[in-house]
Structure 1
Amino acid sequence: MLVNHQHKMVFCYIPKVGCTFFKRLMLILNGKYPNVSSPYDIAPTKIHVLPIDLLSTHPRENAAVLRAYKKVVFVRDPYTRLFSGYLDKMFMPRQMFKTLCTYIIKTFRKSVVKNSSITCPLDVTFEEFLRYVIHSNQNNVKKNYHFGMMHDLCGTCDIKYDIIGKLETFVPDLNLMFEEIGESHRMPVENLVTERVEDDLTAVVDYAFHTKKNTCMDFSQILRRTWRRAQIRGFVSMDLDFPFTNNQTLFVTQQEFLDTIKDASLVSRNDKSLKVIKSEAMSYAYSTVPMDVLNQLEVLLKDDCLQFGYDTRPKHVFEANQRTWNFNYFDV
């Protein structure tokens, strides 16, 4: 939990619920960046090197703070959160998840020969990922906090939160948080939505180029996945094909690629289909998952859904396999 003593606020951050944004925001509120007005002016990498004010490890001090301070948490639809986790941690090649990906493939891929060696575990399917999430959370085996349940991560059964914001209503809920701590004029929240796109693209392109020499995946494939991720996130139109040949990807610079994907995002702004691309891609992903796995997932996510007011059995998830899909969003 992050703590801000000046405003007497405790913030519980949850992976894949604006986690990096809120860590940067708390750095500003805690005075680490007195001349910065927007969290997006702070490089995402800074949250890993700068000291972040955390709740004390002493139980008595913790209890006193939790009684006296405002407690805030932001959540999001559990099914969407898992899809977002897959997109960013599995579909995008993440070196830090290589060991976990190897475990997932060896444990949940039917075609893998027992004790066989896996040299490049970067093709985990959405079904395999969900089987892992279910198994790890139900059996407390190989758990990764990025994919833990929200009510477990922030102890919402034991702690009474004063503000439970939602990513789906980010602007009004963040404004409410600012009002509650007396910072209603701190920053124009509405502008943050626009800034988010450029920040996201800059960060993911930076990561792609920094992993160029440290991954087993062909670099052209990394850049193609980076482009497709931007499309699935609703930043770039699906009508805009990947603009480089395999040979060109060998020589394109980070700045050239970043400029190209940013330009594509600007051109795509008037594309009305952007709003539905991510939901369509998510439905497609869930359509590839057997119903018995989805039923197990419903049981796992039930507490999160009921506590935070989300549908336990959304149609776009459980009826997705009834549709005819002519496009594979993950085939790049």
Structure 2
Amino acid sequence: MADGRYWSRRFNPMFRLLRRRTMILFLFVLLLYIFYILSMPQKGETVRWYKEWHLINASKASHRIADYKTALLPLPKNNGTGSDLLLTLAAENLLTWKNLELTQNSGKIKITLKSGLDAGAHAKSVCQNLTGNLSYKGNFPLPQMHYSSQYSLLYCPVEKVGSTFWRRVFYILYGKSLQIYNHPLEVPIVDALTQKYEILPRLVRMPNQVRIFLNNSFKFMFVRNPFSRILSAYVDKVFSPNPVYWKNFGIPSIRNSRNNASKHSLTCGHDATFPEFLRYVVESESTLRNRDSHFKGMTSLCKPCSVHYNFVGKMETFERDAIFLFHKLGMKSFVQAMSDKFTSMSVYDSIVDSIKGPYHWKRNIDRCIPFEQSQRRTWRKLQLKGIISMSQSYPFREDEVSKETFIHVAWNAHQNSSTEELKAQKKTVAQEAFISVPLRDLELFTNVFKDDFTIFEYDDSPEEYFNRTQNVQPVSQYLSFKSV
């Protein structure tokens, strides 16, 4: 007992001091919180503050409009008549979104053909018919959107629709790199993918301020025919040597469809067929389980009926739409650097990216297939993507070649492939892929992605895929693993 009283007398003053300090700290934090609440703008003040904030950024944007004249591409002449050829590009006032005619060589540039602005207006019209309401509503994809306060710009990325390219654009817009890039394709892909995006203004996180923010931002997204998008996902992530996606997509696709799958297939997932992959995607989207952004619906990703996009670009007209946006944003250096070689630079970038990946994953690839076979698959991947002609056979005899040699030879093979041949080849590859899918699965696919087909104006029942004499025609030429 004596010892207890001794230690009690010893430590009681210390306990009282700690309690006093804790109370003082609590009161200090409470006062800071009260001060913060009192300094916050009220409802009307919040709107006024946000408008003032936007006008400051808008005034900066207005100065860029004057740069459009010097940022334009040289216009070709129309059959020697001297009149400017009407472009499918357009310029739009950054503040009012009204069409703006721009002078070029004493002529005018106007919108004459369907553009991304028309596609955006069409999506808005379809959504109005579907919902009967054009007010901003629902769950907004703001957390995943890329934002630039300098340009009052919002971009919603859709995987397999040029999203890496636009991430590179935003990487340059952020201006955090010490490296000076002339155009987006110079930005290393890993840098663009790991970039921390600009944080949206705090006020946007308040539900009543979302509509104001969206109305005062230029919003754009890019879309793609759902058929070509799902085929591209398969070619890039499953058919080509990619052990990461073999595990994520290949194994579950085989497990979901193949009755007598070998242990090797269930362990590696390296030989999942396109029909197996498509069936897995349909089931994932139907049940909303195990979904992945590479095949998730575009309307599901970007909510076009909740966010009314000013511009909806398309993969089928990617170069034209990208150059339009560069014009719109006054990115003169991008236009000058890419205007006459956009396609060739994009193709070379795709070749390099396709070839370098397997060398990085070599150890894991070797556990499933010989590396020489993976290189053959990479070559076939470039053929499936319409980059190298099927007449250009795999050229290497040795078991393994350096990636520099591989890139050099693949680029030469592309240059020796005719544009007409590659275009026809891509069409044949797609036809072979989709007629190998049972009609029932194909109908389920179009039903699952019905909104994507409707809102973005794509044919959901192309004759070349559905009008066939047999329910299934097995792959034999391009997508067969045995032919690689």
TM-score where L is the length of structure 1: 0.91
Asked if the contact 1:283–1:320 (Cα under 8 Å) also holds between the matched residues in 2, the reply is no
Give the number of aligned pairs: 327
Deviation at 1:208, TM superposition (A): 1.5
TM alignment of 1:250-265, pairs within 5 A: 250=400, 252-265=401-414
Match of 2:223 in 1: 75
Q: Secondary structure at the match of 1:165?
A: strand
Deviation at 1:54, TM superposition (A): 5.3
**Residue deviations 1:205-261 (CA, integer Å, cap 9, x gap):** 10021111122221111111110111111211111111123xx123x1111111111
Deviation at 1:52, TM superposition (A): 3.0
**Residue deviations 1:65-86 (CA, integer Å, cap 9, x gap):** 3231110001011111000011
1:244 has 2:396 as partner: yes
Match of 2:433 in 1: 285
Deviation at 1:279, TM superposition (A): 1.5
Asked if the contact 1:9–1:181 (Cα under 8 Å) also holds between the matched residues in 2, the reply is no
Q: Secondary structure at the match of 1:118?
A: helix
TM alignment of 1:45-64, pairs within 5 A: 45-53=190-198, 55=200, 59-60=205-206, 63-64=211-212
Deviation at 1:290, TM superposition (A): 0.5
Asked if the contact 1:286–1:321 (Cα under 8 Å) also holds between the matched residues in 2, the reply is no
Runs of 4+ in 1 over 4 A off after TM superposition: 54-58, 61-64, 320-327
Q: Where does structure 1 lack aligned partners over 5 or more consecutive residues?
A: none
Moved more, 188-197 or 201-210: 188-197
Match of 2:182 in 1: 37
Q: Where does structure 2 lack aligned partners over 5 or more consecutive residues?
A: 1-144
RMSD: 2.4
Q: Which amino acid is the alignment partner of residue 26 of structure 1?
A: F
Q: Secondary structure at the match of 1:273?
A: helix
Q: Secondary structure at the match of 1:105?
A: helix
Flag the structure with more relative contact order, 1 or 2, with Cα contacts below 8 A and sequence separation at least 6: 1
TM alignment of 1:306-317, pairs within 5 A: 306-317=454-465
Q: Which amino acid is the alignment partner of residue 258 of structure 2?
A: R
Match of 1:5 in 2: 149
Structure with higher Rg: it is 2
Q: Secondary structure at the match of 2:220?
A: strand
How far, CA to CA, are the matches of 2:210 and 2:243 in structure 1? 35
Asked if the contact 2:218–2:310 (Cα under 8 Å) also holds between the matched residues in 1, the reply is yes
**Residue deviations 1:51-103 (CA, integer Å, cap 9, x gap):** 23354686226554323111000101111100001100111122222143222
Deviation at 1:28, TM superposition (A): 1.5
Q: 1:202 aligns with which of 344, 352, 358?
A: 352
Specify whether residues 148 and 326 from structure 1 end up closer, same or farther in structure 2 by C-alpha distance, changes over 3 A only.
Answer: closer
Q: Which amino acid is the alignment partner of residue 9 of structure 1?
A: L
TM-score where L is the length of structure 2: 0.63
Deviation at 1:321, TM superposition (A): 6.3
Percent identical among aligned pairs is 31
Moved more, 214-223 or 301-310: 214-223
Q: Which amino acid is the alignment partner of residue 426 of structure 2?
A: K
Deviation at 1:140, TM superposition (A): 0.8
How far, CA to CA, are the matches of 2:326 and 2:357 in structure 1? 32
Q: Secondary structure at the match of 2:277?
A: helix
TM alignment of 1:56-205, pairs within 5 A: 59-60=205-206, 63-97=211-245, 98-112=247-261, 118-183=266-331, 186-187=334-335, 188-205=338-355
